[in-house]
Structure formats: C-alpha cells, structure tokens
C-alpha cells in the first residue's frame, strides 16, 4: 500500500517512526518516546505520525483512522458536543470509508484490533462517567449532612 500517495491525496504528510529516526520524530512533533509504541497521531491536520508498530496491519488501520480525523467537520464536533468518544468512533468510520475507497482489505486480525480500539474509548469514557457519578453522589451526601 502506498501510504505516502494516499496521504498526499488528502494533503497530508506521513512520517514513519523507526528505531533510527525516533529521536528526531520525538523532537520535531513534541511527542514522548513511549507515545510512539503501537500508536499514531495526526498533528495540526497536516502530519500523520505513525509510531513503531508490532503489526503492519495495525499500522495501516491506524493510518486510515488518523486520516479519518481530518474528515471530521467542526459541525460534527458541535453536534456531538465535542464528545471525545463519538469523535473517535467517527474517525474510525471515516477511516474505513477511505480504506474502502482505496480497496484496502481489512484482515480479520485488523478488524479485531479496530473493535478493541473502539472498546478502549468506551471503557475510558465509562470510567470517567463513573468517577463523575461517584463525585456527585459524595457531594449530595455532604449536602444532606448539612441539613
Ligand atoms: Zn483517534
């Protein structure tokens, strides 16, 4: 797959992190070294930074996901009240549409990886929600005690 050409079609540059260039990538994009393990970034809607991946298929899926982020409009963000989870879901959907456009097959392993990624947002959102709920419950108790 010609990632460089696909990125170019979307006016994006793509940086592949390797063991050799990792220090330069960290410096240029102000990232942390550990961020670049099986992880990717879109920076200023201009640069896709692909970290060091254990699996090429996962790297490709992340590549489409990051392009997907650039397809999300401000209107959509407003519509979902900047809900991070919904924005991430949408980026996967947009990314899959682009993969389809370029006739990229999603292997069963990659499909599983995508579902796992989506679930990880769900888990962290649920965790944040539960924390808020606990906090609110505590505040409520406090008020009741004051009565
Ligand atoms: Zn994302």
How far away, in angstroms, is 136 Cα from ligand 1 center?
A: 29
Rounded Cα gap, residues 33 and 54, in angstroms = 15
How far away, in angstroms, is 65 Cα from ligand 1 center?
A: 6
How far away, in angstroms, is 113 Cα from ligand 1 center?
A: 13
Band (pLDDT 50/70/90 cuts) for residue 117 is confident
Evaluate whether 25 touches 11 at the Cβ level (below 8 Å): no
How far away, in angstroms, is 27 Cα from ligand 1 center?
A: 21
| Structure tokens, 126 | 């649920």
Q: Is the pLDDT of residue 48 over 80?
A: yes
> What does the pLDDT look like over 2-45, one tens digit per residue?
999 999 999 999 999 999 999 999 999 999 999 999 999 999 99
């Amino acid at each position: 797959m010609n990632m460089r050409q696909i990125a170019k079609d979307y006016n994006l540059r793509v940086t592949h992190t390797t063991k050799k260039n990792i220090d330069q990538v960290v410096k240029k994009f102000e990232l942390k070294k550990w961020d670049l393990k099986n992880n990717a970034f879109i920076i200023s809607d201009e640069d896709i930074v692909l970290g060091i991946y254990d699996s090429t298929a996962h790297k490709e899926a992340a590549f489409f996901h990051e392009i997907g982020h650039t397809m999300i409009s401000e209107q959509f963000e407003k519509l979902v009240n900047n809900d991070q989870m919904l924005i991430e879901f949408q980026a996967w959907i947009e990314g899959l549409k682009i993969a389809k456009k370029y006739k990229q097959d999603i292997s069963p392993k990659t499909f599983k990886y995508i579902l796992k990624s989506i679930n990880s947002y769900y888990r962290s959102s649920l965790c944040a929600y539960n924390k808020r709920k606990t906090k609110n419950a505590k505040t409520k108790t406090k008020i009741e005690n004051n009565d």
